[in-house]
Amino acid sequence: FLATVSHELRNPLAPILTWTQLLRSGTLDEAKSRRALEVIERNVISQSQLIDDLIDVSRVVSGKFRLDVRPIDLSPVIKGAADSQVPASDAKQIRLQLVLDERAGLISGDSERLQQVMWNLISNAIKFTPKGGRVQVVLQRAESHVEISVSDSGAGIDAEFLPHVFEPFRQGTGGSMRRHGGLGL
């Protein structure tokens, strides 16, 4: 676990350091400087998310995790999570489509935590979808409840791994076969 966490926290630092050194050298033109700032920002956000995930796990384990449950509209929650993923989907030329039933109505939930869940689901869908693919998020009313589905044109999850998909720190592909980062949270 500590090796995985250390590795994942260290990964964003290399491009941050490299691009910072290039910016400091003063040799980059305006386009490369913009690119440098984009890479630095994306990696800082990635590292921040990893740290937030670890803090949340710590709070859950210690029994200090609290939810702020109140009536919320899921459409803005989903839109907010999706908007933050537009740069990642654009970079891979992935079509990110939202199909939101405006009749879904209010639910009881923690807006911040639900946005975090949606961010993770959309981020993973983009991460595992090949260039030029599609990610779709659907919110719909289903009788007395609402359903959210996130689908993509990626390879999917192996059937053998499905029973373990919500276990902390478990990932579908491990060891030298792992191509994508993350803590499995």
Q: pLDDT tens for residues 55-97?
A: 877 887 888 888 889 999 999 999 999 998 998 899 899 999 9
Q: What is the pLDDT of residue 184?
A: 58
Q: How far apart are CA 78 and CA 70, in angstroms?
A: 16
Contacts of 68 (CB under 8 A, 6+ apart): 110, 111, 112
Q: Distance from first CA to last CA of the chain, Å, rounded?
A: 12
Contacts of 30 (CB under 8 A, 6+ apart): none
| Residue 125 CB neighbour total at 10 angstroms | 23
pLDDT band at 12 (very low <50, low <70, confident <90, very high): confident
Q: What is the pLDDT of residue 48?
A: 87
pTM score: 0.68
Q: What is the pLDDT of residue 175?
A: 42
More confident residue, 54 or 110: 110
Q: What is the pLDDT of residue 177?
A: 38
Angle at 130 (CA atoms; ends 80, 121), nearest 5 degrees: 30
Q: How far apart are CA 139 and CA 146, in angstroms?
A: 7
Q: What is the mean pLDDT of residues 110-117?
A: 90
39 phi/psi in degrees, rounded to 5: -65, -45
pLDDT band at 178 (very low <50, low <70, confident <90, very high): very low
In terms of residues, how long is the chain?
185
